[in-house]
Structure 1
Amino acid sequence: MGKLKSLLKAELVSHRVTKKPDPGIWIFSSTDNAHYNYNSRYLFEYVKDNLPEITPYFVINDEKLRKKLGDKYGKQYFIETCSIEGMKKALSAGVWFTSAGLPVYGTGLGKNRTIVNLWHGIPLKKIALMDPNLSRLARIYFKKIFTENYTFVLTCSSRLIPVMAESFQISPDKIKVWGQPRNDVLFTKTDKEKVLGSIYPDLPSCKKAILYAPTFRDYGVTSLFPFKDYDKKALDAFLEKEDAVIFLRTHISEQGNAGPYLSDRVRYLGNEQAEDIMDIADMFDILITDYSSIYIDYLLLDRPLIFLPYDKEQYLKGRGMNFEYDKVTPGAKPDSQQKFIDAIAEICHGRDRYQQERQKCNLFFNEIQQPCMKNICDEVKKHVGMD
């Protein structure tokens, strides 16, 4: 269904629904109403398991995925919003949570219900209406369909309130420092051996598990090991010596580009192996990235970071950053394989040169340093008069 057609249908249906939305019905949605991910997924599961007074639904318009999730969690929890009946069900809810998009698209939907944008990360890069690549028409659409509907937008630090307010062009008092539901899993312990053994039965011993999660680029293919002196055999030999494995997680569209770099000691960790990386993020001893805000979540673990911003000038010119990159990326930035190996070796041997800088950065971005889902639910219940 095209967005315009869906929008027109939703406008028609919403004006026909006269019954007041029920504050005890909570709807969750994520990317394009077709994915079960991001903060919405985690908060939905918390509500389902812990708040019997709430009736939760998750919008999944992909029929196969909806059936799969229904078989796993219970069919009663998953709905679609392609049909008029499905839209009516979503519109009957007094509370909507989203990480990207809305359960039903339309104008004026926030007038008689609470709509909470959980978002899906820290705005290291320019997002939403601050994105320089957004067209004038897209800005108008975004403001009418999204910004004007939001009751609250969540973030993790009071220092981020001005950035989020400007990004969504809403009043700063609508930005709430309530945290990100997905970060709650960082405070639980993952059994590394059990998880890795189930994903990779042939994996060699792995004393140090290293996650490498580069950012997708609009302008070209990501150079995964961007070193002029890249030597696959030398890297493998080093990793074997240190009893370490690099787990490479690219954007799904770049999975094919990872092939030449893979080996016993460099493994691919895509959606098939781990649907949501946050579920197992705490089992990694080191994180390597470039511009992904995943490192900001990872700061909560107080573990070493390595950055590979080989195309920083080009990337920042195209997208733009809300913060000065070098000041908020506390970790080594090697520009050769030898320096890359040296950075990993230092960490493996117990030297952590960036810990103080990392902890300072964590305090800046992550005021919420404990599980937050219960508090989010309590705040919303209070707002809708259920407390």
Structure 2
Amino acid sequence: MIKNVFLKNLLIGSVFKGISGVNQFIPKNDQKILLYSDLGFRDNVKYLYDYLIQHNYNEKYQIICAVKGYQKFTGSAPKNVVFTRPFSGIFAYLRTTHVFYCFGKLPISATRKQKVIQMWHGTSFKGFAQNQTQTGANANSFYTYVYASSPYFVPIVARKFNVDRNHVAICGHPRTDVFYEPKANYALGDFKKILVWLPTFRQSKRLGQTDTKQDSILPFLADSELAHFNDYLQEKDVKVIVKLHPMQDVSEIDHAGWKNLVLMSNSEFEKSGMDLYRLLNLSDGLLTDYSSVFYDYLLLDKPIGFTESDVEEYEKKRGFAVDPDKFRPGQRIRQQADLRLFIENVITGNDAFKPDRKKINLIANRNQNGTNSEQSLKLSDIHM
């Protein structure tokens, strides 16, 4: 990933412009599917891949996964599946009809025969970080479609990706399809309630981004207070699984012996063998802050607690793509007492925000039947 906007635009206008020209003359293979992600084999590309394999699309199509960390999957690749590095995705792109992105993109202009789809990895809630999405270049030629989860988000997506509205397709995230499948059998233990906490990162050296100051792993709780919070959860017979953002580091916190507050780095979560969205399907409630995961969680119609320890500062520095007051269908948590109240409400079943969730769910998620992977393949004219 190139985070320097000037350098990125320079490459798009020179090297990739030349590649785009060459791309127009290279024959495309309609039996090839390219799944591209420069932040690992996860999220929508992984869920779409799972759908393709489960429904035997690899019997007809060659599936090329150009993903960071590809080495972990090369030895166990099914028939007609190839794992390779993201850079090699450039060469696969030039001969492939069907292309799907989730993290990043190849700034190559598509031909008329190609279907290039940007699924992205979340419905917009946070404001637009210039060095993450827009590059200043008109992106209409890069994408056949960019996904919006509902008509409400079409103009927001068009602006975010710098495309015309006719390049925006209404489709939800393939990752949410698992909400409509049989529940996973994870050994989570016997607790009254299980909550999942997904905090948003504030600072990223990799992305050169600082949204707000971040002094502790979790809001309202100093790192030195986490052990006491674990004791509180033990008294309430509640388990809170904190799946940290890939950019967060928990290595300096001695949490191995905790049973009720489980802090999991991204690598630890991957080693656990659990799938995030299948875990969400097993949970009784969600804690998050500015992550777009709450839009997806609305499909489950379960309580959501929104931590807002720095909402004013965050709005000034990063901003929001939507009205943060309107799109908050859950308890707003601004101090530790609010956090405990949310947990108490989940325990007792006191759910005052159910009507609000229904309202926002109708605005944010048009497809509510678990067919987003199927719809994705239809948009790319992929058939068995």
TM-score range, shorter chain: 0.7 to 0.9
CA contact (8 A) 1:20 1:112 kept: no
Evaluate the alpha carbon distance shift between residue 75 and residue 81 of structure 1 in structure 2; reply closer, same or farther with a 3 A threshold: farther
Deviation digits for residues 177-210 of structure 1 (CA, Å, limit 9, x no counterpart): 121111101112334xx4235xxxxx6x323111
Report matched runs for 1:185-264 at 5 Å.
185-191=178-184, 194-197=185-188, 205-218=190-203, 219=210, 220-221=213-214, 223=216, 224-226=218-220, 232=226, 235-256=229-250, 259=253, 263-264=258-259
- Say which is worse superposed, 160-169 or 299-308, in terms of deviation: 160-169
Residue 293 of structure 1: how far off its partner (Å):
0.6
CA contact (8 A) 2:28 2:95 kept: yes
CA contact (8 A) 1:69 1:75 kept: no
Gaps of 5+ in 1: 198-202
CA contact (8 A) 2:118 2:147 kept: yes
Aligned residue identity for 2:109 = G
Deviation digits for residues 224-247 of structure 1 (CA, Å, limit 9, x no counterpart): 14169x955663343223211111
Deviation digits for residues 270-319 of structure 1 (CA, Å, limit 9, x no counterpart): 32343352242211111001101111111100000111111001111111
Distance 1:81 1:69 in 2: 11
Map of 1:38 onto structure 2 = 43
TM-score (norm 2): 0.82
Residue 94 of structure 1: how far off its partner (Å):
0.8
Distance 2:50 2:359 in 1: 32
Q: Which has the higher helix share?
A: 1
Evaluate the alpha carbon distance shift between residue 37 and residue 231 of structure 1 in structure 2; reply closer, same or farther with a 3 A threshold: closer
SS of residue in 2 equivalent to 1:371:
coil
Distance 2:26 2:245 in 1: 43
Aligned residue identity for 1:282 = N
Map of 2:81 onto structure 1 = 77
Map of 1:333 onto structure 2 = 332
CA contact (8 A) 1:110 1:151 kept: no
Gaps of 5+ in 2: 3-7, 204-209
Deviation digits for residues 116-170 of structure 1 (CA, Å, limit 9, x no counterpart): 111111011123xxx3x4499x733xx25x5431111112111111111121222
Matched, 1:353 2:374: no
CA contact (8 A) 2:108 2:142 kept: yes
Evaluate the alpha carbon distance shift between residue 240 and residue 297 of structure 1 in structure 2; reply closer, same or farther with a 3 A threshold: same
Evaluate the alpha carbon distance shift between residue 246 and residue 79 of structure 1 in structure 2; reply closer, same or farther with a 3 A threshold: closer
Distance 2:261 2:364 in 1: 31
Report matched runs for 1:275-354 at 5 Å.
275=270, 276-354=275-353
When the two chains are superposed, the root-mean-square deviation of aligned CA atoms in Å is: 3.2
Evaluate the alpha carbon distance shift between residue 242 and residue 54 of structure 1 in structure 2; reply closer, same or farther with a 3 A threshold: same
Q: 2:166 aligns with which of 163, 173, 180?
A: 173
Map of 1:99 onto structure 2 = 102
Distance 2:86 2:309 in 1: 43
How many equivalent residue pairs?
A: 359
Aligned residue identity for 2:40 = H
Residue 251 of structure 1: how far off its partner (Å):
2.1
Distance 2:40 2:227 in 1: 38
Evaluate the alpha carbon distance shift between residue 291 and residue 178 of structure 1 in structure 2; reply closer, same or farther with a 3 A threshold: same
Distance 1:212 1:327 in 2: 22
Distance 1:308 1:215 in 2: 10
After TM superposition, where is structure 1 displaced by more than 6 Å over at least 4 residues in a row?
1-7
CA contact (8 A) 2:64 2:84 kept: no
Aligned residue identity for 2:265 = G
SS of residue in 2 equivalent to 1:196:
coil
Map of 2:265 onto structure 1 = 270
Aligned residue identity for 2:368 = Q
Aligned residue identity for 1:295 = F
Aligned residue identity for 2:141 = E
Distance 2:341 2:365 in 1: 29
SS of residue in 2 equivalent to 1:247:
strand
Q: Which has the higher strand share?
A: 2
CA contact (8 A) 1:10 1:87 kept: no
CA contact (8 A) 2:20 2:109 kept: no
Percentage of identical aligned residues: 22
CA contact (8 A) 1:227 1:336 kept: no
